[in-house]
Chain A
Amino acid sequence: MPQVMDADRMGRALTRIAHEILERNRGTSELALVGIRTRGVPLARRIAHSLRDINGEEVPTGALDITLYRDDLMRQPVGPQPVVRRTEVPFSIDDKRILLVDDVLYTGRTIRAALDALIDFGRPRAIQLIVLVDRGHRELPIKADYVGKNLPTSPKQSVQVRLQEIDGADEVVINDPEGV
C-alpha cells in the first residue's frame, strides 16, 4: 500500500493552492468554498483556514451532498441505496465565485453531479474546481483549476485520501487490486 503523499506534503499542497486562489482571484471578495461530501468538506475548511491565515479574511464554507444527483443511483444491479447526508450551504451562491472542493478527481461524474446540485442553489458568477489528487481517466469534459498532485494511475488501482478529521491521519495511498 504505497503512500504517495504524507501529512507534510499534503499541508504544503493545500497552502500552495490557497496562494494560487488569491493570486488568480485577486483576493477573497465574492469567494465561497463548497466541499463535496465526505472528504471535500474538511479540505474546504482547511483551505478556508489557510486563506484567513494569509490575508485575514473569512471565506464562507459549505458542504454539498451529491447523492441525489448521482447518475448511477438507479442503475446499481445490487447494493444498498447510498446514504444521503445533509447539504449545508448557509449562504447565497448568487454572483459568487464558488470554489468546489473534492479529494480525488477521476471520471468527472461526481463533479458533474456537484455542478448540477450547485446550479440548483442559484447562479454563481463562476465555479472553479479544487482537487487534492487528479488521477486521470476522465469520462466527461471536466478539468480542475487547482490540483494538489497529479497522480498517474491505472484504472484498476484505487486512490485513497485519508484525512485527520475523518480517518485520524493525513495521507494519500494507492492500492493495487488484490492478487495483482
Chain B
Amino acid sequence: MLRSRHLLGIADLDAEEIQRILDTAEAMKEIAARPIKKVPTLRGRTVVNLFFEPSTRTRMSFEVAEKRLSADTLSIAVATSSVTKGETLLDTVRNLEAMAPDMIVMRHASSGAPHLLARLCRSAIINAGDGMHEHPTQALLDAFTIRAHKKRLDGLKVSIVGDLMHSRVLRSNIQLLNKMGAEVWACGPSTLMPTDLARFGVRPTTSIDEAVDQADVVMMLRIQHERMHGHFIPSTREYFSLFGLTPERLRRAKDDVIIMHPGPMNRGVEIDSEVADGPYSVILEQVSNGVAVRMAVLYLLAGQEAEAD
C-alpha cells in the first residue's frame, strides 16, 4: 500500500500511492457529513502533534482528522515546550517517545528535520511542513481539491504563482502534479526563483499573464513581508502590481479555472480580495478537504506501522 512507514515528502510516493491516498480521502470525506463525525478506527492510538513553528490551519486540520479517527492526541506548540530552554530536537522527541506515541505529526522550520527524526525514533513521522522543503499533506489536499473539480489531474495546466524560492508548498506540489501528469507552470519574480527551477519539471515564467493564460488551476503562494529585507522585492505594492492576481488578469484563464491558496492569504499583496472571495475560489474547500486527506494519511500509515511492529 504505502512503501514507507513515514510520510516525509511527496518525493517518496509514487503515482499509485498518491492515487490510493486520494481515493481513501474520498471515503473519509463522507464522514464529515454524518451526524456523528467520528469513527473508531484509531482508538487506542496516540498521535503527537509537534509544532515547532506557528501554524493554525495545518495543526487544526490534523487535530480534527485525528479526533475523527478516535486517536488520542497531544498537541505541543513551540512556545510551551522546552525547546526554547535550549533542549535539542532530539531531547524533546526522546522525552515524547517515552510516552510511546504511535505517530508524530511534525512541523519544523528546518528542512530535513522530520528526516532526522525518522532515522532516530520509533514513531511513524508525518511531515506537516519542513522549512522550505516539503509539505506533503498540503500537496495531497490540493490534488484532492483539483480532482474534485476537474475529475482528473493529468493534462491540466496548473500555474503556481508567488514566492517560489521559499515555498515548501511549491516543492511538494510540483512533484505530485508531475507524477500525476499535470503541466506545471511556476511564476514569480526572478529573485524568488529557486536555482535551476526548470530542472524541477516546471515551465518557469516571470509573466503572470503567461502563467494564467488558459490555466485550469491557479495556485497563489503567500508573499511574506520580510522578503523585502533580503532585497527580493522592492515593496509589496510593486509586487502586487507585477504579480498580484486580479480579476482582469484572471480573464485569460479557462472559463472553469479554479483559484487556490494554501493560506494564510495576504489580500492585496498576492491576491485581490475580489478573486479570493469570488466564484472561482476554492480556498475554503481546500481547508475542509485537508481534514479528509489527513484522515486518509493517518489511516494508511497506521496500517504500515502494524506491519513494522
Contacts and interface: CB of A to CB of B under 8 A. Distances in A.
| A–B contact at 8 Å CB threshold (below) | yes
Interface of A: 65, 67-69, 73-81, 83-88, 116-117, 120-122
Contacts of A120: 34-36, 38-39
B300 interface: yes
B288 interface: no
Interface in B31-88: 31, 34-36, 38-42, 44-45, 69
A68 B299 contact: yes
A4 to B, nearest CB: 33
B306 interface: yes
The secondary-structure label for the interface of chain B is: helix
Shortest beta-carbon contacts, A-B, top 9: A81-B303, A80-B1, A68-B39, A120-B36, A84-B27, A68-B41, A86-B27, A84-B24, A87-B30
A61 B154 CA distance: 35
B302 interface: yes
B304 interface: yes
Nearest to B40: A69
Given A76-B306, A83-B24, A121 B35 contact: yes
Given A83-B23, A120-B36, 10 more contacts: A68-B40, A69-B39, A74-B45, A74-B302, A77-B307, A81-B299, A81-B300, A84-B24, A86-B26, A121-B35
Interface residues of B, number: 28
Interface of B: 1, 20, 23-24, 26-28, 30-31, 34-36, 38-42, 44-45, 69, 296, 299-300, 302-304, 306-307
B28 A84 contact: yes
Given A81-B1, A81-B299, A121-B36, A75 B24 contact: no
With a 10 A CB-CB cut-off, give which of A78, A81, A87, A88 has the most chain B CB atoms. A81
Contacts of A74: 42, 44-45, 302-303, 306
Contacts of A83: 20, 23-24
B1 A116 contact: no
A121 B300 CA distance: 24
A117 B303 CA distance: 20
12 contacts: A69-B41, A73-B41, A73-B302, A73-B303, A74-B302, A81-B302, A83-B23, A83-B24, A84-B296, A84-B299, A88-B30, A116-B40
